[in-house]
Structure 1
Amino acid sequence: MPDPASAPGMGPMLWRLAPMIYGPTVLFALGEGAVVPLLPVIAAQLGADVPTAALVASALVVGQLCGNIPAGWAVSRIGERMTMIVGGVLALGGVAGMLFAPSLPVLAAAVFLIGFCAAAFGLARHSFMTTRVPIAYRARALSLLGGTFRLGMFVGPFLAAALIAIFGDENSTVWFFGACLLATIALLVFGPDPEDAVPVPRVRRSSGDSRLAEDTGEPVTGSIPVPERVGVFRTMWRFRGVLSRLGLAAASLSAVRSARQVVLPLWGVSIGLDAQTIALVVGISGAIDFAHFYASGQVMDRFGRLWAALPAMVLMGSGFLALAFTHDLSQAAMWFALFAAVLGVGNGLSSGILLTLGADVAPQDDPAAFLGSWRTLTDAGGAIAPLLVSAVAAVVSLSVATGVIGVIGLAGAAGFIRWVPRFVPRTR
């Protein structure tokens, strides 16, 4: 792994190129964040009932889940920038499909395509950071990357509300997403390429472990020379140990994060709160989450990855477990607001953890194929959690479902304790 001291000028250069590094992610996330809350509404306009509208909205997550491995293949062969350009163009096709969809299957296919392209954007920037950011501030750089996505998803719904108030049409948000994609593509095509501007340590495979490489001290630009590209599925098999251990712990974190977005609104409805109060509580929790996104990177870079992952998981796991026992209390609304805030803190402190751990354990000479597998695993955890909450709540109760998520969070914390020191040893 490259020595952090070998690239002392990387920090200022990273900030100088921030618009090109973080800008495409912000633009894509702003557009996506504006559209996501209105997917059920757009589906309902085509005649969908509530379950069908939920199915159409879930196509976004399914598309992202399915897109990670192909995105890893694309980044390995055509590079981060070209993958994002192709993804942006294809996403424009998804936007056109949403605008002019004659039926629900076409709308679902368009939403799936947008999710597929979102995976390409996420993986391309993840791969860029893995190969080019020194380990000394890798976590802070990746926490900022996670924060740019949080910014888009946090601000996007407010922009959607403003657009609907101005134009009186839900499709105005889809047009806005299209404008964001056009700006993203223009930025990628005509802006300076960070892959050329940011030097990368030349790495050489070590004889003992393909993940470890020696820094020769010679900076290079552009594509990284790779002796052999082993492919996505061979990479999955080669790294099955870390994926089945640390990867599962990471998937549990993704599951707890995703469950929070489902449990909090359902809990508010279950205890009899009105929609405005629920929106206020969830909004405050989201604001707390966003306010803490950079703290995670600071902690990971200064004290180690476990010092951020463990508090985040313990806070969220304990918060869900405690919330599960408050449903029938006289002050249920107060406890709901309190634990929503606790979950917001825990989720904010987890910003960038999955990105950083994936970057730490990826092969440094050609990380894209591994990161495709890593992100597929973590996205699968996020996709399964809402289904688990719904199933347990339908069979038993929402309180039990919430408690199950809490147990998953604490089990994930134990997994991080066990596997982070093994796979991500401290380097300084």
Structure 2
Amino acid sequence: MVYLPTVLFALGEGAVIPLIPVIAASMGADVATAALVASALVVGQLCGNLPAGWAVGRIGERYTMVIAGTAALLSGAGMLFAPSLGVLAASVFVLGLCAAAFGLARHAFMTTRVPLPFRARSLSLLGGSFRLGIFIGPFVAAGLLQLFGSESAAIWFFGVCLVVMVLLVLFGPDPEATIPPVRSTERFVEDSGEAVSGSIPTVERAGIFQTMWRQRRLLSRLGLAAASLSAVRSARQVVLPLWGLSLGLDASTIALVVGVSGAIDFALFYASGQVMDRFGRLWAAMPAMLLMGVGFLALAFTHDGDAAVLWFGMFAAVLGVGNGLSSGILLTLGADVAPEREPAAFLGSWRTLTDAGGAVAPLLVSAITAVSTLSVAAGAIGVIGLLGAAGFLRWIPRFVPRPDPPAEA
């Protein structure tokens, strides 16, 4: 009941996302317009985090997920029967809103229910559940396309996943009722470096913007470091295919290199949680950011070398290792620093900031490449990664409580 709904939602979403540009092109869109329609998903996620935080705080995680799943069904119907590109883009935007609401609801549940010594592994499993769906979904879509010859088959599959998920959440055992909230014994609420006990001292229900203002020091410090991690992750998905194209590789070779990098990434998701729970958050965040930062910087100097293709494959694997080691870090850090009273409002702000970092990175890569070269863009992303590593080194010890080692079974 905790992880299966996430797998179902991500599996259906993963089957649909790669086909959005294809559907737009079949409706007459050129490449730029198709990319614009696909970007509506990210815009929807950015716009959905703050309202989702409000909804979770008012009606709870369970009903927020039910509403998100139902609205996602409507967005799937809109994509299936869209009469124009405008309706298709609006449907993709709604899907982004629903994905934000669903993700925040499950994040808020794990924040309030999982004990601190086991939090990182639980949230890494949550991130791994999402990655599993996104990883398998495109293969399911490819099989359905081969079997039925139409993109609508993947949208119908998405609808089936949503129906099963909604029924499971609505009629299955409610984890909110069966798992009592857990109060953390340690909480850092501002950048003074002093630990305090208990929740943030508020009596009234704090709103979204009031929570953002109260947590402005944390968000402007640790939040920006987290946003840099999201930016480097997102840039990896853009830079690697473009790098392969710039080297003159064919589509199958590029797909193989990117696929191997993604497989390494997926294989390490639980290791990240183990490291964070046993040694602290910094021991996962720093190696991940250093690997990705140095990987991008080193890649920037290999484009015109004799072994450029070999270096491309090697650094794609390095970036996959770094990304895998960072699995669950953003979820865990957000849970660590969220106030015990009304965590959903804070998590809405946290996820908006990190999603913004992921949304800006592809635009930054595109802009730098347009005025300079792809190598310069890769180097710039590497610098962002190293700055983010410095930010984590500075702010994680100040804001994040150090978990006690878990008891051995």
Of 328, 331, 336, the residue aligned with 2:304 is: 328
Distance 1:169 1:363, change over 3 A: same
Alignment RMSD: 1.7
Match of 1:301 in 2: 277
Match of 1:56 in 2: 37
Q: Distance in 2 between matches of 1:375 and 1:257?
A: 15
The answer to whether 1:158 aligns with 2:139 is yes
Q: Secondary structure at the match of 1:200?
A: coil
Of 136, 143, 154, the residue aligned with 2:124 is: 143
Q: Describe the superposition over 1:321-360 as per-residue Cα deviations: whole angstroms up to 9, x where unpaired.
A: 0111111111111111000000000000000000000000
Match of 1:130 in 2: 111
The answer to whether 1:344 aligns with 2:320 is yes
Q: Distance in 2 between matches of 1:204 and 1:136?
A: 11
Name the aligned partner's letter for residue 393 of structure 1: T
Q: Distance in 2 between matches of 1:331 and 1:286?
A: 22
Displacement of 1:27: 0.5
Name the aligned partner's letter for residue 361 of structure 1: V
Distance 1:387 1:202, change over 3 A: closer
Displacement of 1:212: 5.6
Match of 1:117 in 2: 98
Name the aligned partner's letter for residue 22 of structure 1: Y
Match of 1:258 in 2: 234
Name the aligned partner's letter for residue 295 of structure 1: A
Match of 1:284 in 2: 260
The answer to whether 1:193 aligns with 2:169 is no
Q: Distance in 2 between matches of 1:229 and 1:119?
A: 22
Q: Distance in 2 between matches of 1:60 and 1:140?
A: 28
Displacement of 1:304: 0.3
Name the aligned partner's letter for residue 213 of structure 2: W
Displacement of 1:287: 0.3
Name the aligned partner's letter for residue 31 of structure 2: V
Q: Secondary structure at the match of 1:229?
A: coil
Match of 2:157 in 1: 176
Q: Distance in 1 between matches of 2:185 and 2:297?
A: 47
Q: Distance in 2 between matches of 1:204 and 1:80?
A: 23
Displacement of 1:305: 0.3
Is 2:117–2:403's contact at 8 Å kept on the other side of the alignment? no
Q: Distance in 2 between matches of 1:212 and 1:42?
A: 53
Task: Give the gaps of 5 or more residues in structure 2.
Answer: 405-409
Q: Distance in 1 between matches of 2:307 and 2:185?
A: 61
Name the aligned partner's letter for residue 163 of structure 1: L
The answer to whether 1:235 aligns with 2:211 is yes
Q: Distance in 2 between matches of 1:414 and 1:287?
A: 28
Task: Give the gaps of 5 or more residues in structure 1.
Answer: 1-19, 216-225
Q: Distance in 2 between matches of 1:205 and 1:392?
A: 43
Name the aligned partner's letter for residue 49 of structure 2: N
Is 2:111–2:335's contact at 8 Å kept on the other side of the alignment? yes
Match of 1:71 in 2: 52
Identity %: 74
Q: Describe the superposition over 1:173-230 as per-residue Cα deviations: whole angstroms up to 9, x where unpaired.
A: 1111111110110101110000011122468999x98x96549xxxxxxxxxx94211
Instruction: Report how many aligned residue pairs link the two structures.
Output: 397
Q: Distance in 2 between matches of 1:351 and 1:203?
A: 22
The answer to whether 1:103 aligns with 2:68 is no
Is 1:254–1:378's contact at 8 Å kept on the other side of the alignment? yes
Q: Describe the superposition over 1:380-419 as per-residue Cα deviations: whole angstroms up to 9, x where unpaired.
A: 0000000000000011010100110000000000000000
Is 1:203–1:365's contact at 8 Å kept on the other side of the alignment? no
Distance 1:153 1:203, change over 3 A: closer
Q: Describe the superposition over 1:264-313 as per-residue Cα deviations: whole angstroms up to 9, x where unpaired.
A: 00000000000000000000000000000000100000000000000000
Distance 1:198 1:322, change over 3 A: same
Moved runs in structure 1, 4+ residues, more than 4 A? Answer: 202-206
Name the aligned partner's letter for residue 253 of structure 1: L
Q: Describe the superposition over 1:3-23 as per-residue Cα deviations: whole angstroms up to 9, x where unpaired.
A: xxxxxxxxxxxxxxxxx1011
Of 330, 351, 355, the residue aligned with 1:375 is: 351
Matches within 5 A, 1:384-423: 384-423=360-399
Match of 2:407 in 1: none
